Amino acid sequence: MRCLLLLLLSLSLALCDVLAQDGGGEVTLVVLGNAQDGGYPHIGCTREDCRNLFLRPASNHHVVALGLVDAESGEQFLFEATPDLPRQTFLLAEEEGAHGGMPDGIFLTHAHWGHYAGLGSLGRESLGADGVPVYAMPQMAEFLRTNGPWSQLVDLNNIDIQPLEKDQTVQAGQRVAVTPIRVPHRDEFSETVGYRIQGPNRTALFIPDIDKWSKWERSLEAEVAAVDIAFLDGTFFDGAELGHRDMAEIPHPFIVESLALMASWPAAERDKVHFTHLNHTNRLLDPASEATRRVLDAGCHVARFGDHHDL
């Protein structure tokens, strides 16, 4: 009897703990895009699938971005400011529990076109936004402050730059902690970061753009082990994909390389992986492709527009 009482007590304490952490409303990550900077369909692409999408645009292909909504407070955040930002902010605001309107913050990863160009939509020629907080690392912030047309967004207070430092955690609202993590990448205009996004119950890793995993000072396996879900650079499936471009100039971890690296991982770790930032040549864009089948058979996933994950 005493054991039973103790068990009931510990169960109710555990339940209280969960409720205290969770607060009742969900914190949700939503995939608002999974394409590489150039988008899909891609400029200059005359393949049949691109032609069909240019002629009859589908509504589910956008450049890589994540939305974050705290349904308890209504707070909403965006990771990446892509060329598709107008629709992505609309969809974020439409999410259940979101307060609507503009994001309470936009987290930038780096100064490559597909990851920040959407900021232009907040400027004088478009929304004329009022002080949208934009979280940026030091070089990224300096790039925005000192180069037109972005500097005008700062001067007119369309955006309000919130400084980030590597490995320094900031709050995204009351219940989510965000930590920028430096990653190796072509850093012509800014440093590049990924993010660890820690909700009340679960944590996500977001690394849309990186050179080969072997160039990273950190262990990918350890970083994935430390989280519950990982959105990782899946730009190219394999080396044969680009043909006319020198793959050495465009270093990314190919899907086949990542799968080989992860083959020795426990199944539960592989199950956390969702590939994103897919180039228009990557057959993973097609959920029915053999490439997608290979990723699923390997125990991993492809991030799809509209996917929801509780944090």
Summarize as ranges the residues that interact with Zn ion (CB under 5 A): 37, 112, 209
Report H helices in 23-62: 48-55
What counts of helices (H) and strands (E) characterise the chain? 10, 14
| CA-CA-CA-CA torsion sign (90, 116, 34, 104) | negative
User: CA neighbours within 13 Å on the CB side: how many for 162?
Assistant: 17
CA distances, 80 to each of 17, 30, 44, 194 (Å)? 33, 13, 24, 10
Question: In which region does residue 121 sit, left (phi positive, over 0), alpha (psi from -120 to 50) or beta (all else)?
Answer: alpha
Looking at the Cβ atoms of 120 and 299, the one nearer to Zn ion is 120
| CA-CA-CA-CA torsion sign (50, 259, 80, 27) | positive
For the bound state, the minimum distance from the C-beta of residue 114 to Zn ion, rounded and expressed in Å, comes to 5
Looking at the Cβ atoms of 114 and 199, the one nearer to Zn ion is 114
Q: Phi first, then psi: what are they for 262, rounded to 5°?
A: -85, -10
Looking at the Cβ atoms of 115 and 301, the one nearer to Zn ion is 115
Given the DSSP bridges, would you call strands 105-107 and 203-207 parallel, antiparallel or unpaired? unpaired
For the bound state, the minimum distance from the C-beta of residue 310 to Zn ion, rounded and expressed in Å, comes to 27
Looking at the Cβ atoms of 144 and 311, the one nearer to Zn ion is 144
For the bound state, the minimum distance from the C-beta of residue 38 to Zn ion, rounded and expressed in Å, comes to 9
Nearest by Cα to 174 from 10, 4, 21: 21
Given the DSSP bridges, would you call strands 105-107 and 132-136 parallel, antiparallel or unpaired? parallel
For the bound state, the minimum distance from the C-beta of residue 302 to Zn ion, rounded and expressed in Å, comes to 17
For the bound state, the minimum distance from the C-beta of residue 118 to Zn ion, rounded and expressed in Å, comes to 13
Say how many residues make up the chain.
Answer: 311
Looking at the Cβ atoms of 37 and 191, the one nearer to Zn ion is 37
For the bound state, the minimum distance from the C-beta of residue 71 to Zn ion, rounded and expressed in Å, comes to 30
Q: Are 83 and 120 in contact (CB under 8 A)?
A: no
Q: Are 229 and 274 in contact (CB under 8 A)?
A: yes
Instruction: Give the tokens for residue 138.
Output: 């030091």
For the bound state, the minimum distance from the C-beta of residue 291 to Zn ion, rounded and expressed in Å, comes to 19
Tell me the residue number closest to Zn ion, measured at CB: 112
Looking at the Cβ atoms of 83 and 200, the one nearer to Zn ion is 83
Q: Where are the beta strands (DSSP E) in 91-192?
A: 105-107, 132-136, 159-163, 170-171, 177-182
Looking at the Cβ atoms of 188 and 290, the one nearer to Zn ion is 188
Looking at the Cβ atoms of 97 and 251, the one nearer to Zn ion is 251
For the bound state, the minimum distance from the C-beta of residue 255 to Zn ion, rounded and expressed in Å, comes to 16
